[in-house]
Amino acid sequence: MRSLREKLVADVGEEIERDQIRGFARSVAEIEWLVLILVMLYLLAPGTDVADQPVVTVALVGFAAFILIFRYLGFYRTQSRLKISIETLAMIAFVTAVLLPTGRLESPLLNLYLLPIIVTALTLGKWVTLLFVALISVCCVFVGGDVTMALSLAGMSEILANLAPFLLVAFVTTMLANDIHIAKSRIRTLSETDELTGLQNMRAFSRLHKQEHERAGRYERTYGLMLLDMDNLKGINDTLGHEAGNSAIVLVANVITRLIRNTDAAARYGGDEFIVLLSEITPERLDQISKRIRSSVHNATLEFEGRMYRTSVSIGTAVFPDDGTDPKDLITKADGKMYQNKELQRRPSVKVP
């Protein structure tokens, strides 16, 4: 079973993927119009030699109709990588069609093949890009018009010379796209993680809590919330310094991570407060886990500059739907129980033997 954090990462990843595809789709539409406009400008330029004007006209009208129908008239509404692939293939077909009557491999329009290659490298990955480059190679052989010549050493050299810029652009663009993807993943991880403890921050936890709350309501399942507050962090900071206080915070975070299930999730709620989301749990089991965490934190000993010290936590819990059906009410209920617990138990002071 996937953990809540893994589910969150998957859901966030899917959401980001959808946003990226929508962004890519808009860029592809602009590139399609750019290809069309560049061909028209070339044809309108003085001195342009076109061997077969009807072929070019049909290609222009056909490609414009494809863009309008496929992109703007809702023929294929779903934004996906498959749709981008189809549009890229259409661009390659259009460029190939206009090369035939405008000089074949000697045509200045040959460089228009770079645009679908860039689109593919940015959106579809290196293997699909390699496949499309191979397709363009076949198109170049077809445009050249002499297959026998293409298979000769001189013909292959000419084709490779024409393809070299395409291969270089494909390689560089694919590398940059991969680096951008890795950088985005790292930024996303950093933006959702508490730097000190490695737990989730509240931004990520709130999203996960919302998703789990909706699932629990939809499938009539339970989930629990646990709020923890360190009892003597101020005393540790005042006596031993903030570095020791940070060590105590990390200790509590490690205890929480060790004692909850991998299907649960924990976050740093504030300076010395933590919140835990436990899926499909009974009040009795939630109470057992909270007692184990409280006991483990109390029994753990930390050493700082040769001095030993301990900390403790107060804990409050709430279970959906027994303690409330609104996510904020559940947090409020657990928070209230936590402070009741803090008042009932003895607050230990920093022990320095």
Higher pLDDT, 262 or 352: 262
Is the pLDDT at 353 greater than 50? The verdict is no
What's the mean pLDDT in 156-172?
75
Q: Which of 136-145, 236-245, 339-348 has the lowest mean pLDDT?
A: 339-348
In a domain, 351, yes or no: no
Residue 82 lies in a domain: yes
Asked if residue 121 lies in contact with residue 170, where contact means CB atoms within 8 angstroms, the answer is: yes
Which domain-ending residue is among 137, 158, 191? Answer: 191
Q: What is the mean pLDDT of residues 30-55?
A: 86
CA-angle at 237, arms to 230 and 347, nearest 5°: 40
Regarding pTM above 0.85, the answer is: no
Residue 5 pLDDT exceeds 90: no
Domain final residue pick, 191, 211, 240:
191
Residues 137 and 32 in one domain: yes
What is the average pLDDT across 74-80? 63
Picking from 168, 191, 214, the residue at the C-terminal end of a domain is 191
Q: Are residues 237 and 116 in the same domain?
A: no
pLDDT at 351 (0 to 100): 46
Query: So what's the pLDDT on residue 291?
Result: 93
Tell me how far apart the alpha carbons of residues 83 and 77 are, in angstroms, rounded to a whole number: 9
In the structure encoding, which two tokens stand for residue 176, read together? 């940059």
**130 and 226 part of one domain:** no
Strand residue runs (E) in the chain: 223-230, 265-268, 273-279, 302-304, 307-309, 313-320
Asked if 40 contacts 56 with a C-beta cutoff of 8 angstroms, the reply is no
176 and 211 assigned to the same domain = no
Amino acid letter, residue 79: Q
Task: Give the pLDDT confidence of 167-200 residue by residue, as tens digits.
Answer: 888 888 888 878 877 777 777 777 788 989 989 9
Is 350 a member of any domain? no
177 and 206 share one domain: no
Average pLDDT taken over every residue of the chain? 83
Over its C-alpha atoms, the chain yields an Rg (Å, rounded) of: 31
- Please check whether residues 163 and 225 belong to one and the same domain: no
Could you tell me if 221 and 338 are in contact, meaning their C-beta atoms sit under 8 angstroms apart?
no
Task: Please check whether residues 43 and 160 belong to one and the same domain.
Answer: yes
**Whether residues 9 and 69 fall in one domain:** yes
pLDDT in tens, 197-219: 989 999 889 988 998 999 999 99
**Residues 240 and 119 reside in one and the same domain:** no
pLDDT tens per residue across span 305-326: 778 888 899 999 999 999 999 9
Range of 174's domain?
Answer: 4-191
Domain presence at residue 256? yes
Q: Flag whether pLDDT at 79 surpasses 70.
A: no
| Residue 71 resides in a domain | yes
- Residues 125-134 pLDDT 10s: 888 888 998 8
The pLDDT of residue 285 is 94
Query: Over pLDDT 70: what percentage of the chain?
Result: 84
Residue 335 CB neighbour total at 10 angstroms: 18
Higher per-residue pLDDT: 63 or 80: 63
Domains contained in the chain, number = 2
Q: What amino acid is encoded at 22 in this protein?
A: R
Write the CATH number for 258. Answer: 3.30.70.270
pLDDT tens, 222-278?
Answer: 999 999 999 888 888 888 888 999 999 999 999 999 999 888 999 999 889 999 999
Task: Clarify whether residues 260 and 138 are in a common domain.
Answer: no
Is 353 contained in some domain?
Answer: no
Alpha carbon distance 160, 318 (integer Å) = 68
Q: Is there a cis peptide before residue 321, judged by omega within 30 degrees of 0?
A: yes
Q: For residue 54, what pLDDT band results from cuts at 50, 70 and 90? A: confident
- What is the structure's pLDDT at 192? 80
* 280 & 157 share domain: no
More confident residue, 254 or 77: 254
Residues 254 and 108 in one domain: no
Whether 196 is covered by a domain: the verdict is: no
